[in-house]
Structure 1
Amino acid sequence: MRIAGLTGGIASGKSAVSNLFKAHGIPVVDADINALKKGTGGWKKVVAAFSEDILLDNGEVDRAKLGQIVFADP
C-alpha cells in the first residue's frame, strides 16, 4: 500500500486532488477535519488558545469563526 500526503498553501489545489482521489475510490484522511474533532488533543489546544467562544452549540469548532479570528491577525 502506498500512502501519499497532500500539502500546500491556500488555493494550491489540495482539495481538488483530494476530490479526484475520492472520485476514484482512493481513501482520503483529512487531517484538518480529524485534528479538530470534539475532545481530541488538537480540539483541546485550539479551545484553550481561543476560548469556548469558537465552539458551536454541539461543541464542535466553528471553523468559520476561528478562520475570521486567525486570518484577521497579520
Structure 2
Amino acid sequence: MFVKINMALKDDQDLIQNILSGQLPAFEQLVEKYQNMVFTLAFRVLQNHEDAEEVAQDVFVKVLIHSKLSTKIKF
C-alpha cells in the first residue's frame, strides 16, 4: 500500500514538473486523473450538477492560469 501511494505521489510530481515546463498534455493528464474527485466534492457541497461542473472546470482553469503548482506535496 505504501509503495502504491509513493508511486502515485511520484507520478503527480512528474506531471506537475511537466506542466510547469509548459507541457500541456501533462495538464490534460492531471485533469483526467482528478476531474471526478473535484466534481464529486463540488457536487456534494453545491447539490447541483451544472454548478458542480462549472466549479470543477474553474478549479482546473485557475490552476493552469495561476500555475500554483508545486512538486512539494504536504499533508
TM over 0.5: no
TM-score (norm 2): 0.27
More helix by share: 2
TM-score (norm 1): 0.27
Query: Rg: which structure is higher?
Result: 1
Higher relative contact order (CA 8 A, sep 6+): 2
